[in-house]
Amino acid sequence: MKWKKLGKIFDPTQHRLPNECAQFAQSPQTLIFDDFVRIYFSTRAVDKANGKYLSHIAYVDMSKDFHNIIRVSEHTVIPLGDLGCFDEHGIFPINLVRHDEVIYAYTCGWNRRVSVSVDTAIGLAVSHDNGQTFQRLGNGPVLAASLHEPCLVGDGFVKIIGDIWHMWYIFGTGWKTYTPDTPPDRTYKIGHAVSNNGIEWTQEEEARQIISDRLGKDESQALPSVIEMDDRYLMTFCYRQSSDFRKNKDRGYRIGHAWSDDLNNWTRDDENPHLALIPDEWDTEMQCYPHVFKCDDKVYLLYNGNEFGRYGFGLAVLET
Amino acid sequence: MFKWQKLGKVFIPQEVQNRSWLKEFAQAPATLVFDNFVRVYFSCRPPADKQGQYVSYSAYVDLERSDLFKICQVSEEPILSLGNIGEFDEFGTYPVSVIRDGNLIRAYYAGWTRCESVPFNVAIGCAISNDQGKTFTKLGKGPIVSYSPDEPFVLSGPKIRQFNGLWYLWYIAGRKWKIIEGRAEPVYKIRMATSYDGINWSKLNKDLIESRIEEDEAQASPDVFFSNGKYHMFFCYRYSSHYRSRQNGYRIGYASSTNLVDWVRDDSKAGIDVSEQGWDAEMISYPHIFELDGKTYMAYLGDQVGRYGFGLAALEGTFD
């Protein structure tokens, strides 16, 4: 099996975006409609107070062959959180689940800290208008730091299998200062939680890392997404070194894979499917924030390239 | 109406020598009774740093059981270390509430971190002592009660109790941050959670005490005990703005319940108020009730929320 690259399909700098956002279309995630695919992503505005970034959610509707852009959202899809809330400074990413005529959105909310740059938690919002706008369940998160997952809970990806809601997500293991002249960097790993209603989540075992490390304990893993294929489950995610990963392409994000028969034990196999890494200009330095999904019986992978998706996202299709 | 006889200030942190971490404040007293002394846990601070920022530690003072105005000793070190970088309790462990659990002593404490848009956030941690409460080891690096949809931030002021074989935790949860003269001030309400093991908690998700003086009244220090067939709660409350004053500062309130869930507030019964002059003329707050040798006492804070120590009052008569 291998991913056949179809190239970059969306460049945010070529469109008018909501919330005064200009660049970045990060972590594309899909909601499939009968005759189009809505791809949500996180884009960025500049916080006038201090010049830092604020991440906002927007979407692009594309034809099901991904050749044509039908529309780009120009309205606020979900406002950022109130003062002091977990999602005050950004929502990135957002994961969409259809259930009972309602669309559930699992958000990763960002809030800035003082000794470290940020903390995150996972929120829940619902849409009653086919995903054009979302309303929060409350001002707080549905999954946040806990006794053994002390920081940076985020990147929730939810799938209902049978009667059980499964969530794959990431949890921080801690912050570390690697060199005296760089700010502290974080490490996170992929975990798993379950729920009966999509609202109250429990981990069978807190801080159980379900995907083995390839780069050692300072490997950070992010953006799990899962799809069922021939009675097995395929997870895509991205991974990198925890320090010096922004500009050093040898330490930056790559896309990883893992397989499971039982949703509990995962075998990491980054080369299956093989991401035919013939570097195009837009994804030579990094490949990150993958999202695997099915559309018209094909399996696709959306992902970001260089600079964490500053100039958009691309697509690959699975060939067996 | 209860009648409290004020006995005066018991402990003055400024009088303690040779402890760099204990210069001022003795906040949120909580007692543990031993054969010959009463151990009173409190929270204190070293001087503020160059930016005017405090960290807070928790410690104890042992009072002679036969004369609570005689100090036997003050802890040599804080009972808990501050958290590592990026952890929820990096900048403070305040306040603390203790309970015996067989030969162990459990402490539930609020951990403080610093945020960018608001000054702080708080969540509740747990630690265990096996040396009679002199030192405590945290159960994990993260909080045991964390943020949720209806309790988005500032989970603080835990008070741990056991009734009828069940663990109860009373605490406060932030409702909103208000900007008052350019400064973010939190509004919080009294909440409750229950547990079978003291570790996994189910939140009641309900305000226990109706607000009386204004909608944004802030409530704290829910101190519950059982006497004469019902449950009594003393707590403190203040206005949401300009509360560092006699006019709007903390006062002590009272509520009672027969089932621990439904509470009837009646502050007119509290029976204790600010003095005309002296150390508690501006505000009184953070009540803690304990029984000792047939008498009932209230430990509480005076002006500037305990900057200059805590005092005691004794109940005249009994609770009905």
- pLDDT at residue number B318: 81
**Confidence class of residue B8 from pLDDT cuts 50, 70 and 90?**
very high
**Confidence class of residue A110 from pLDDT cuts 50, 70 and 90?**
very high
Residue B158 contacts A, CB cutoff 8 Å: no
What are the pLDDT digits (tens) for B217-238?
A: 999 999 999 999 999 999 999 9
Chain B residues with CB inside 8 Å of A116's CB? 85-86
Please give the order of strands across the beta sheet that includes B183-195.
Answer: B153-163, B166-180, B183-195, B202-203
Tell me if A148 and B142 make a contact (CB, 8 A cut-off): yes
Mean pLDDT (whole number) for A238-257: 95
Mean pLDDT (whole number) for B63-87: 97
User: Reduced to 3 states, what is the DSSP secondary structure of residue B185?
Assistant: strand
pTM of the complete model: 0.96
Strand partners, B291: B296
ipTM of this predicted structure: 0.95
User: Reduced to 3 states, what is the DSSP secondary structure of residue B119?
Assistant: coil
Average pLDDT, chain A: 96
Tell me if A85 and B152 make a contact (CB, 8 A cut-off): yes
Tell me if B152 and A141 make a contact (CB, 8 A cut-off): yes
Tell me if B86 and A116 make a contact (CB, 8 A cut-off): yes
Token representation of residue B42: 């409190």
Amino acid type, B106: R
**Confidence class of residue A276 from pLDDT cuts 50, 70 and 90?**
low
- pLDDT at residue number A274: 85
pLDDT at A104 over 80: yes
- pLDDT at residue number A275: 77
Average pLDDT, chain B: 96
Q: State chain B's maximal CA–CA distance in angstroms.
A: 52
- pLDDT at residue number B275: 94
Residues near A246 by beta carbon (within 8 Å), at least 6 away in sequence? A252
Write out the residues of chain A at the interface with chain B, using a CB-CB cutoff of 8 A. Answer: 81-86, 88-89, 111-116, 119, 121, 123-124, 136-142, 144-151, 172, 174-177, 184, 186, 199
pLDDT at A311 over 80: yes
What are the pLDDT digits (tens) for B35-54?
A: 999 999 999 999 999 988 99
Phi, psi of A162 (to 5 degrees): 65, -130
Comparing CB atoms, the residue among A124, A150, A176 nearest residue B87 is A150
Nearest CA distance, A139 vs chain B (angstrom): 5
What are the pLDDT digits (tens) for A185-237?
A: 999 999 999 999 999 999 999 999 999 999 999 999 999 999 999 999 999 99
- pLDDT at residue number A116: 97
Count CB neighbours of A84 within 10 A: 22
Concatenated DSSP letters of A118-135: EEEEEEEEEESSTTS--E
